[in-house]
């Protein structure tokens, strides 16, 4: 047993002395022999990992990542919705108005989404027209009323026989006639 360790240490010593000699190769590299650097397995893979010194792109990449995320968050559902509408529902076709039929206001549009918006969200163009006409009518009445008021003002001021511009006179009982009540005063 002791002789074995002596032999092993002698082999290690011999290998250290002359590693190139044939019998001196380290059969088991686990024993305390020198490492063989001339017979290393070299594989040309991705190359040696280098540490490239460049300014940080963390913020730029984070920004682009977040931009992509938030744009696609609603972009993809909207795109899917529009594709499904165009494929499964499809656009309307032009037709002549049948006799005695009054089309609804959304039936004047082609695309199904436009029709839906016109039906559910917007008021009908007839209603918008009438709303505008109502506003114009109110303004017209206001304008006419203002003009007549000016005219009436002028007339009442000059003629004086109307209810406006009447100056209240004093009460008769307040007049003090004592200084002219007798002829000798």
115 scored as a contact of other proteins (CB under 8 A):
yes
Nearer to other proteins, 66 or 133 (CB): 133
Minimum distance from CB of 104 to other proteins (Å)?
10
Q: Which two tokens stand for residue 78?
A: 């909207």
Measured in degrees and rounded to the nearest 5, phi and psi for residue 22 equal -60, -45
89 scored as a contact of other proteins (CB under 8 A):
yes
Nearer to other proteins, 19 or 112 (CB): 112
Nearer to other proteins, 53 or 126 (CB): 126
Give the residue from 24, 52, 48 showing the smallest Cα distance to 36: 24
Cβ contact 33:16 at 8 Å: yes
The residues near 90 (Cβ < 8 Å, ≥ 6 apart) are: 112
Question: Interface residues with other proteins (CB under 8 A)?
Answer: 87-90, 92-97, 103, 107-110, 112, 115, 129, 132-133, 136-137, 139-140, 144
């Amino acid at each position: 047993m002791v002789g074995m360790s002596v032999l092993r240490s002698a082999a290690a010593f011999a290998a250290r002395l002359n590693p190139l000699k044939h019998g001196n190769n380290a059969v088991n590299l686990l024993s305390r022999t020198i490492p063989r650097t001339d017979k290393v397995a070299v594989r040309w893979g991705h190359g040696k990992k280098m540490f490239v010194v460049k300014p940080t792109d963390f913020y730029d990449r984070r920004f682009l990542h977040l931009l992509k995320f938030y744009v696609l968050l609603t972009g993809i559902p909207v795109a899917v919705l529009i594709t499904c509408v165009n494929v499964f529902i499809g656009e309307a076709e032009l037709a002549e108005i049948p006799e005695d039929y009054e089309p609804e206001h959304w039936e004047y549009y082609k695309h199904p989404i436009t029709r839906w918006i016109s039906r559910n969200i917007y008021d009908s163009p007839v209603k918008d027209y009438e709303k505008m006409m109502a506003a114009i009518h109110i303004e017209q009445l206001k304008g006419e009323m203002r003009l007549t008021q000016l005219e009436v003002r002028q007339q009442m001021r000059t003629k004086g026989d109307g209810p406006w511009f009447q100056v209240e006179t004093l009460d008769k009982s307040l007049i003090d006639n004592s200084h002219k009540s007798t002829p000798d005063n």
